[in-house]
Amino acid sequence: MKMKRKHIYLLGFMGCGKSTLGRKLAQALDMPFVDTDIMIEVKAGMSVTTIFAQLGETKFRELEKEILIDLAQNWEEDSVVALGGGTPAQIGAWPLLQASGTTVYVERTPEQLYNHVRFTNRRPVLQEVKQEELLGHIEKLLEKRVTNYLKADHIFNCKDEWGVDETIDHLVKLLKKSDEEN
Ligand code: S3P
């Protein structure tokens, strides 16, 4: 019989800090860390930006779904997993996530997200958006996605005044408390 996976999935909008926090959280919990965008890049042999540009978003979403199935059903080690911002909005994602681990929504306000993404151009979903329209665009896209994000087991309200270490302390406490309760 296959054991149920016990991953810790970090999910949320682009720029909420899933990868940075995930890497640190994995260290704190002595677990492996996995970033689904990197897995997609390895599988496709090209960057996320190139996949969007050359193969299109539909192909990217197909690869994203395949990676999620692999992680949820076949992965050897329980890991901290940073999901892509769009992964929880995929059809069929939630049964896979719920069956294979604990989900944490890294919640931030549109303003915080805007401040985190405005100087980077490595996110194809936001690349074409003009700077002056970026905040409004984030608000709209977040509104569309938030019902999916809110399905998470935990809503982790992330404060900008916390540094990374303090954020990880809060996150570890939240996860330990939930372990004790279950
Ligand atoms: C996406 C988010 C990105 C990446 C891809 C699409 C999205 O990941 O998966 O560019 O649709 O929100 P991050 O959330 O890690 O930036």
Give residue-wise pLDDT tens across range 89-101. 999 999 999 999 9
Measure the CA–CA gap between 5 and 99, rounded to whole angstroms: 8
Pocket flag, ligand 1, residue 22 (CB < 6 Å): no
For the segment 160-181, the average pLDDT, to the nearest whole number, is 90
Q: Which helix (H) or strand (E) segment is 107 a member of?
A: strand 101-107
pLDDT of residue 1: 39
Q: Does domain 7-172 have CATH number 3.40.50.300?
A: yes
pLDDT in tens, 97-137: 999 999 999 999 999 999 999 988 789 999 889 999 999 99
DSSP class of residue 52?
Answer: I
pLDDT of residue 121: 79
Pocket flag, ligand 1, residue 35 (CB < 6 Å): no
State which ligand 1 atom lies nearest to the alpha carbon of 12: 14
State which ligand 1 atom lies nearest to the alpha carbon of 83: 15
pLDDT in tens, 66-89: 999 999 999 989 999 999 999 999
- Domain extent listing, the chain: 7-172
Question: How remote is the CA of residue 86 from the centroid of ligand 1, in Å?
Answer: 6
Pocket flag, ligand 1, residue 155 (CB < 6 Å): no
How many C-alpha atoms does 122 have within 13 Å on its Cβ side?
8
Asked if 87 contacts 64 with a C-beta cutoff of 8 angstroms, the reply is yes
Asked if 36 contacts 83 with a C-beta cutoff of 8 angstroms, the reply is yes
Question: How remote is the CA of residue 14 from the centroid of ligand 1, in Å?
Answer: 6
Measure the CA–CA gap between 133 and 153, rounded to whole angstroms: 32
Measure the CA–CA gap between 93 and 78, rounded to whole angstroms: 18
Pocket flag, ligand 1, residue 172 (CB < 6 Å): no
State which ligand 1 atom lies nearest to the alpha carbon of 124: 10
Measure the CA–CA gap between 182 and 126, rounded to whole angstroms: 39
pLDDT of residue 76: 87
How far is CA 63 from each of CA 36, 38, 45, 96, rounded to the nearest angstrom? Answer: 10, 11, 12, 15
Sign of the Cα torsion 40, 45, 51, 55 reads: negative
pTM listed for this prediction: 0.95
Beta strand segments in 59-99, E: 80-82
Q: Which residues of 68-100 are buried (b: 16+ CB within 10 A; e: fewer)?
A: beebbeebeebbbbbbbbbbbbbeebeebbeeb
pLDDT in tens, 1-55: 344 569 999 999 999 999 999 999 999 999 999 999 999 999 999 999 999 999 9
**Helices vs strands, H then E, count in the chain:** 9, 5
State which ligand 1 atom lies nearest to the alpha carbon of 14: 14
